[in-house]
Amino acid sequence: MPSAAASLVTEMAMAHVPVLTDELLELLDVRSDSRVVDCTFGGGGHAEAVAGSLGPQGLLVACDQDPIAEGYYLTLKTGLLCPSRFCLGNFAAVLPRLLEEGLRATQVYMDLGVSSMQIDTPDRGFSYSYDAPLDMRMDPSLPVTAADILNGWAEAALTELFGRYGEERYSRRIARAVTVRRSSAPYTRTSDLVDTIKGAIPTPARFGAGNPARRVFQALRIEVNDELNSLKRALPEAFSLLDPGGIMAVISFHSLEDRIVKEFFAAKARSCTCPPEFPICVCGGAATGEVLTPKAVTPGMRELEINPRSSSAKLRALRKF
């Protein structure tokens, strides 16, 4: 009889719905002997699909900073035909270690979304739909929680955070309300923050598209986990890990991530790096990659019906020369 922990892992893995799976598989073009690095294993949905094409001569390397993901990996591993391993850690730290080991990959991919195992576990504090501790750490060993930021940052810094990472138009009003509220009662619960946000914004904004707390929660999560800086560090490491002809793919879920990925891919595909005002090329540069997705791939209507959480997903891919 499986243990309670193993049963929970299986149940949550079944609830996890990976996005753009068919599109990802088509772009990656995995063969039986491919060496594939999954930088954000999560619930293992994409890895399971990818591993279906791998044989005994192939390799799957699964990476994730959330320790819970290792339980999903161990469940998946029992059915794999290929060798595999799990690396615990943020991809910005794991990928350089793999390079130092001499590993070379034919495919590398990242799914930058928050996984269902995080959103649907209330005590992680990722969701504005549950009352839970204000945590939001993907790696539980990280030193700073969302509550620490809300209770410790100056009003101006919170305004900047909510505006930059959340693209929140009422960032100043919300930051002001946060500092007023915390002076009498420090933030500890997600419901406290949701109530503050709803009270700070104009009444019509409370009934717009989506939950009015979504953007502030996004901003806090990005800051707590240093997501954008980690992505900027990881992209060149992932590209270096690839063999010539290898493919890297990234699924992003908001414009800040997608812009970073798009610009990185464009730079690899650009042959000339001279300033635009130069009349002729003097740098002698050569492109080191080819963008396989001139336009980002997005979910079709069928996927949107099955999995509404996929609505903001964008997939981009690059082949290394």
For 17, residues 6+ apart whose C-beta sits below 8 A from its C-beta are 45, 116, 306, 307, 309, 310
Last residue of a domain, one of 167, 193, 224: 224
- Strands 59-64, 242-252: parallel, antiparallel or unpaired by DSSP? unpaired
**Cα–Cα separations (whole angstroms), residue 264 to 59, 78, 82, 230, 244:** 26, 36, 31, 14, 17
* Average pLDDT, integer, range 175-179: 98
pLDDT tens-digit readout, 24-33 = 999 999 999 9
- Residue 97's domain is classified under what CATH number? 3.40.50.150
Query: Domain check: are 208 and 186 in the same one?
Result: yes
- pLDDT for residue 165: 97
**How far is residue 80's CA from residue 68's CA, in Å, rounded to a whole number?**
19
Task: Say if 213 falls within a structural domain.
Answer: yes
Last residue of a domain, one of 224, 243, 278: 224
Q: Domain tally for the chain? A: 2
Is the confidence at residue 185, as pLDDT, over 50? yes
Task: Say if 86 falls within a structural domain.
Answer: yes
- pLDDT for residue 164: 97
Average pLDDT, the chain: 92
Provide the 3-class DSSP secondary structure of residue 184.
Answer: coil
Query: Domain check: are 36 and 83 in the same one?
Result: yes
Per-residue b/e over 288-306, b at no fewer than 16 CB within 10 Å?
Answer: ebebbbeebbbbeeebeee
Query: Domain check: are 139 and 232 in the same one?
Result: no
Query: Domain check: are 170 and 82 in the same one?
Result: no
Task: Say if 43 falls within a structural domain.
Answer: yes
Tokens 């990472």 identify what position? 165
Last residue of a domain, one of 224, 246, 262: 224
Query: Domain check: are 178 and 235 in the same one?
Result: no
Task: Say if 265 falls within a structural domain.
Answer: yes
For 105, residues 6+ apart whose C-beta sits below 8 A from its C-beta are 35, 36, 37, 61, 241, 242, 243, 246
Task: Say if 122 falls within a structural domain.
Answer: no
- pLDDT for residue 102: 97
Query: Domain check: are 95 and 15 in the same one?
Result: yes
Query: Domain check: are 254 and 201 in the same one?
Result: no
Expressed as residue numbers, the domain containing 63 is 4-117+227-320
Diameter of the chain by CA atoms?
73
Query: Domain check: are 66 and 144 in the same one?
Result: no
Query: Domain check: are 310 and 265 in the same one?
Result: yes
- pLDDT for residue 4: 39
Query: Domain check: are 180 and 169 in the same one?
Result: yes
Helices (H) and strands (E) in the chain, counts: 14, 7
What share of the chain has pLDDT > 70, as a percent? 95
- Strands 314-320, 242-252: parallel, antiparallel or unpaired by DSSP? antiparallel
Can you give the pTM of this predicted structure?
0.90
Query: Domain check: are 44 and 167 in the same one?
Result: no
Give the type of residue at 132.
A
Query: Domain check: are 156 and 304 in the same one?
Result: no
- Residue 170's domain is classified under what CATH number? 1.10.150.170
pLDDT tens-digit readout, 1-51 = 444 334 434 344 445 689 999 999 999 999 999 999 999 999 999 999 999
